Structure 1
Amino acid sequence: MDLLLPGITATRVRTDRLTVNVLQIDGRDGIPVVLVHGNVSSALFWQQLMLDLPAGYRPIAVDLRGFGDTDPEPVDATRGVRDYSDDVRATMAALHLDRAHLAGWSMGGGVVLQCLRDQPAALASVTLVNPVSPFGFGGTSGLDGVPADPPGLGSGGGTANPQFVERLAAGDRSADGPLAPRNVLLAHYVKPPFVPEGLDYLVESMLSTRLGPDHYPGDLGVTQAWPGLLAGSRGVLNTMAPNHFRIDDLEVIEPKPPILWVRGTDDVIVSDTSLYDLARLGELGVVPGWPGPEAYPVQPMVSQTRGVLDHYAAAGGSYQEVPIADTGHSPFLEKPTEFMAAFRAHLDAAG
C-alpha cells in the first residue's frame, strides 16, 4: 500500500539527536508550518491538511521518535515530553528553520507547549488541537492541577489497555472487536459514525507505533492506593504523567506568540469526562473500587487548559478557543473546512 498521498514526499532528515522522518509537499516553499502528531499515530495523519494549506505556506510534518519512520530511540519520560520537543527543535535546526508556526495534536499539543515554554522566540504562532492538559494526562484534579497522592498515581504506562497493545503488536488490520486499532480509531479518534478518507493508511500509521517499556505504552509502578498503578520513568504514556509533565507557567515566557486552541466538543479522549481517565472509568463503574470524588476526582482536562491559557492572556499573550461542534478528537479530519478556516486565519494574522 502506498501510504503517501499524491504530492507528499517523505525524507529522512539527519539531526544532531537522531534521524527524523519528515513529510513535505514536493516543490513547496514558503512560511514553514511544523505539524506534530499525537500518540499511536504518525505524520501520515496530517497529509490532507498539508495539501489543503494554500501556496505561501510550507507544511512540514514530523514523525516523533518511535513512530512512523523516525529512529526508535528510547524515551526518557523523566524529562516529560522533552525528548520529543528537543527532537522537533533539532529537526527545525537541520532544516534551517529559525522560526516557524507550530501545530500539535493531542500528545503533540503537549510537545508544542514544551517547545513554546523552552524556546518561544522560535515560534511564530502556536496551534493546539485537542491537546493534552498542561497538567498531564490523569492523576490531577481541579483547575490548578493538584496531583494525586502519591504523584503519578493512576497515570502513565499502566493505563493502556493490554489487549489494545496486543492488537498493535500483532499488526491487526481487521475490524474484529472494539480493541482492533481500526475500531479504536473509528470510535475514539473521531466521533461515530464519521469514517475518515484514507482510513487504511491511518490504521497503518497507528501500527507504526513502536512498542515496549521504552516506547508505547512504557513501564509502570504499582502501589496499594487505588487504582494500583504509578507512572514509570520510560516510554510514551509516562511522558504525560503529571509528575513528569507540567506546563502551568506560560505567563512568564517572552515573547508570547499567539495561540489557537481548536477542539472537538465531543472528544472522548481529552475531555472533562475523558473515557481514558481512570477516575472517570471508576465513576462509571468500569474500573471497580473507585474511592469517590473526594479521594480521587475526575480530571477536568479541557477546563485546565482554558485556565492556563487565561493566565497566559492576562499576562499579555493572546489565545483564541475554537470549539467545533459534533466533532471528536480529530477536527482536522472530521471537519476540515471549519478547521482550516480557523487555522488559516490564525496563520495569516500571525504573519
Structure 2
Amino acid sequence: MEIAQRTVTANGIGQRVRVAGPPDGTPVLLVHGNASSSAFWEPLLRRLPATLRVIAPDLRGYGDTDRAPVDATRGLADFADDVAGLLDAPGLFPADARPVVVGHSLGGGVAMRLLVDHPQRVAALLLEAPVSPYGFGGTRDLDGTPTSPDFAGTGAGTANPDFVARLAAGDRGADAPTSPRNVLRTTYVADPATLAEDEELLLDSVLSTATGDDNYPGTATGSAHWPGTAPGERGVLNALAPAHFRIADELIAVAVKPPVTWVRGDADVIVSDTSLFDLAYLGSLGVVPGWPGEADCPPQPMVGQTRAVLERYAAAGGTYREVVLPGCGHSPHLERPAEFVAELLALTGAPATT
C-alpha cells in the first residue's frame, strides 16, 4: 500500500496520521503501543490489500503528534478520545465509518476504551498482545484483585531510569542492556532477526516518545507497601496502572458487542503471566530486592485475566477468538506477519490479495 502522512486537528490537538488505501475502502484503524508510534505499523501496511482504507495515528506524546499531557486519572481515555476524534475528521474515513480497530499493547487498552465509549462505531477488535483489562501490574488473580490498597508496584515509579534517560537523549547505541535499541531487540520481539529490515525505522519510532511527568513515564508517589512506589496522576505508565485503568466490567457490559480476535505470542515477555516488566515477577526472581512473597504480592496473571474477561464478554453475548503464535514475542504483526494479516482480513472480510 502507498502510505501518506498528514496532520489532522481532532480532540483539540494536532495528530499526525499515516493514511493508506482508497477513501471508500474498508475502514481499518491501527492504534500503536507504548514507546512507539504509527511507524511501527509500516511493515504491516506493506502487506495489506489496496482495498482497505487504513488510518494509523501517532498517539499524543508519540511520533509527530502534539506532546499533549496525559491525565492518568482517566486511564487511557485521553488516547481513546483523540482516536475517536479521527473517526469523523474530514478526509480520513468514509462518513459514519465503523472500522476494524487494531490495538497493540497499550493500544489494545485504547481500543477497549474506544469500544466502551463508542460501541456503535467499532466493527470489530483485533487485540495484539493487549494490556490486561485490569491494567498493568498490581493485581493478584483473574478477577483483578489489588495486591495493595494503593496499587504499589505499578505506574511511573516502575520505569527503569536509565532507559528513560537514554530515551530522552535519543540514544541509538547498543552498548547497554537498557538502551532503546537493545530493549527493542530483546523485549519487543522474541527473535531480533525479525527486525533486521526495519530496525532503524522502528528505533526512530521508539525514540519519538515524549518523556517527562506529563508523558512517559509520568509522576510517581511513595508507598508504605513494597516496593515503595505507587502510581501518580500524570503520564503514560500511570494511565496503564490498575488504579486508573480497569475496564473489565465496562467491556463486558457494552451494549454492542463486535467480534474480538486476540492475537498473542507465547514468548511475549512484556504482556505475560511472567512479565519482565512486572515488579512482582522480578521480585520473585530476586531481581528487585525485598519481595514480600507469593502470598502478599504474586505476579499479575495478565494473560489469564484477559482470557477470563473475554470469556465473560462471550457469555454476555459477544464472541472472541484467541490466536496463540508459538515462539512469537510481543509484536506478532512484525514477527508473524502472514498469520497476523490473515486474522485482520478475516475481520474485515477483505480478500487476501495485495
TM-score, normalised via structure 1 length: 0.95
| Residue of structure 1 equivalent to 2:216 | 216
TM-superposed CA distance for 1:150, in Å, is 2.0
Tell me what 1:34 maps to. 29
Distance 1:26 1:55 in 2: 5
- Once the 2 structures are TM-superposed, how far is the Cα of residue 100 of structure 1 from its aligned partner? 1.2
CA contact (8 A) 1:41 1:206 kept: yes
For 2:47 and 2:229, the matched residues in 1 are separated by 43
Partner residue in 2 for 1:226: 226
Cα contact 2:26–2:348 (8 A) shared by 1 = no
Q: Distance in 1 between matches of 2:177 and 2:242?
A: 29
Deviations 1:235-294 (Å, cap 9, x if unpaired)? 010001101001112221121100010001100000001010000000000000000011
Counterpart of 1:291? 292
The equivalent position to 1:51 in structure 2, one of 20, 23, 46, is 46
Identity between Structure 1 and Structure 2 (%): 54
Pair 1:133-2:128 in alignment = no
Is 2:323 the partner of 1:322?
yes
CA-to-aligned-CA distance 1:294-313 (integer Å, 9 cap, x gap): 11111000000000000000
| Deviation larger for 19-28 or 301-310 | 19-28
1:100-179 to 2 correspondence within 5 Å?
Answer: 100-179=99-178
CA distance in 1, matches of 2:298, 2:319: 30
Structure 1 residue 16: deviation in Å? 3.6
Q: Is the 8 A contact 2:140 2:147 kept in 1?
A: yes
What is the one-letter code of the residue matched to 2:284? E
Aligned length: 344
Cα distance in 1 between the residues matched to 2:179 and 2:289: 24
Structure 2: how far apart are the matches of 1:320 and 1:169? 39
Q: Whole-Å Cα distance in 2 between the matches of residues 317 and 26 of structure 1?
A: 30
1:29 to partner: Cα distance? 4.2
CA contact (8 A) 1:151 1:242 kept: no
Kept in 1, the 8 Å contact 2:120–2:256? The answer is yes
Listed as ranges, the matches of 1:181-192 within 5 Å are: 181-192=180-191
Task: Give the partner amino acid of 2:177.
Answer: P
Residue 23 of structure 1: SS of its match in structure 2? strand
- Alpha-carbon distance between aligned partners in 2 of 1:10 and 1:317, rounded to the nearest angstrom: 35
- Give the secondary structure class of the aligned counterpart of 1:147: coil
Deviations, residues 129-173 of structure 1 (Å, cap 9, x unaligned): 000000000101100000122232110001100000011111111
Segments of structure 1 that go 5 or more residues without pairing to the other structure are 1-5
Q: Say whether the 8 Å CA contact 1:9–1:26 is kept in structure 2.
A: no
Instruction: Give the letter aligned to residue 164 of structure 2.
Output: V
**Deviation of 1:28 (Å):** 5.9
Query: CA offsets, 1:79-125, max 9 Å, x none?
Result: 00000000000111214552211010000000000011111110011
Return structure 1 stretches of 4+ with deviation > 3 angstroms.
26-29
Counterpart Cα distance in 1 of 2:32 and 2:291: 33
Q: Following TM superposition, by how much is the alpha carbon of 1:175 offset from its aligned partner in structure 2, in angstroms? A: 1.4
Q: Which residue of 2 aligns with 1:78?
A: 73
**Residue number in structure 2 paired with 1:3:** none
| Shift of residue 195, structure 1, vs aligned partner | 3.4
- Give the Cα separation in 1 of the matches to 2:47 and 2:123: 20
Q: Is the Cα contact below 8 Å between 1:102 and 1:125 reproduced in 2?
A: yes
Using the TM superposition, give the Cα deviation of residue 192 of structure 1 relative to its aligned residue in structure 2, in angstroms. Answer: 2.7
Matched, 1:8 2:3: yes
1:17 and 1:152 map into 2 onto residues whose CA distance is 32
Inter-partner Cα distance in structure 2 for 1:120 and 1:273: 32
Q: Distance in 2 between matches of 1:74 and 1:198?
A: 29
SS of match in other structure, 2:81 = helix
TM-score between both structures, scaled by the size of structure 2: 0.95
